[in-house]
Amino acid sequence: MAEMKGTMKLIVMCAFVTWAARGVEGLDPQPQGNVWKSGNTSRPWQNPGWASSTQTYNPVTQPPSKDQNSEWPSLSGGRQEVQQNRQPSSGVSYSRTVSPTNQRTGSTGGLRPSSQRPYNQNGQQRSTYKPPSPVSASHNRTRTTDQELTTLSEKLFDEDVNNVGQNIRLNYQSRTQSNSLKDAAPEPLLTVDPVALDSPTIKALRQLYDNYIADSSFVESITSTERQEESDFLDKILDTRVMADTMEFLADKGYVQRNKKAFKELLNSIWFTMYSRGGGIIGSSAFEHVFLGELKKDEVSGLHNWVYFANEEENHRADYMGYLKKLDLGKKSNLLKVHFRWSNIIKNSGSMFVGTSPEMEIALYTICFLTRPDDRCPLSLGGKTFGIQTYTYRLNRNRGVVIGSAYPVF
């Protein structure tokens, strides 16, 4: 009898060990694709290398991707963007992880404080400023035809004096496929003449790089200094002929007021309003998504701007792996759909203009967002036709609609 009891106890213990092992495996499955670079050796896929290495990172579960661009699925689909009780470990801004060459030195010591702290390093309270929701200048909008859009885009392209396409060398190397794990392009895609970065609007764009946290599951807030940098950027682009004619066209169609201040407020709202891309965490904006890029679990979303992509290549954080499609827009610009790795995570397919100015891209995306929301918007540059796909994001409490994503399609 004693021997039988001992045998039964052994069987029970073995069953418990087997169950526990399976339970752990079910909670934290080893990913099959790329994982985060991390100092957390026990669960490297749960802790971004640039986040706090002393706390566990628990990614927000997201819906399956709609397409290879993984643009709209990275939004929460219009859910409330109010912060919930979840308290993720404090993130680190782009200034340390993404663009160290653009770190700002000043009263805060050059690095943005943790997003979880309501005060900065000098004890000053962080701003809770929220820009006004976009409001149409008129309910009597005039229908915008496809022909008007293609004609307007060509006109703006001719006026884009800050275009620097002639100062960029493209090294396409090999064509690849979106699901490839092989690097078909051992050399960088972009070689940019430093003179191109002296453009006033590009310089203003680069000043914003250290204002954001790359991981959209970390809470973000905004300081008065950062708000001023956003305002300065908008002022720079609004001083251009491209944006002046954009305002005139949209005013004629009843989408905006024919007033520079009011137009700036609308741009500020649709591009810089912070919202959630999942879990109720306020950690994203249209500008950050399109003109920088975001990391979410094991996914790269956004990153559609050549200036930022060139910056990441130069700092060895972006690895161009080959192109999927390319379209020559004459001597001034190009359209590319590329396969690349950023922060050790592969993005299957991402599209971007190359050589265009920030104001040109803001203008085209804004026009398409207002005239063809959640649709493909027909445009033409250098005699070549293509489209821009936009997605809207409806803020809760009827605070209006802003840009969820926008990128070129061809």
* Token pair 């609004």: residue: 238
Q: Which residue has the tokens 């250290």?
A: 210
Predicted confidence (pLDDT) per residue in 320-355, tens digit: 999 999 999 988 999 999 999 999 999 999 999 999
Positions marked catalytic: 289, 304, 347
Q: Is the pLDDT confidence value at 81 over 50? A: no
Query: Is the pLDDT score of 308 beyond 80?
Result: yes
For residue range 385-396, what is the model confidence (pLDDT) as tens digits?
A: 999 999 999 998
pLDDT tens track for 279-305: 889 999 999 999 999 998 889 999 999
Report how far residue 379's alpha carbon sits from residue 376's, in angstroms, rounded to the nearest whole number: 10
| pLDDT, greater one: 67 or 154 | 154
pTM, two decimal places: 0.72
Per-residue model confidence (pLDDT) at position 398: 85
How much of the chain, in percent, has pLDDT values that exceed 90? Answer: 60
What pLDDT does 1 receive? 52
Chain mean pLDDT for the chain = 76
**Is the distance from CB of 334 to CB of 328 less than 8 angstroms?**
yes
For position 32, what pLDDT does the model report? 30
Looking at residue 227, what is its pLDDT?
A: 96
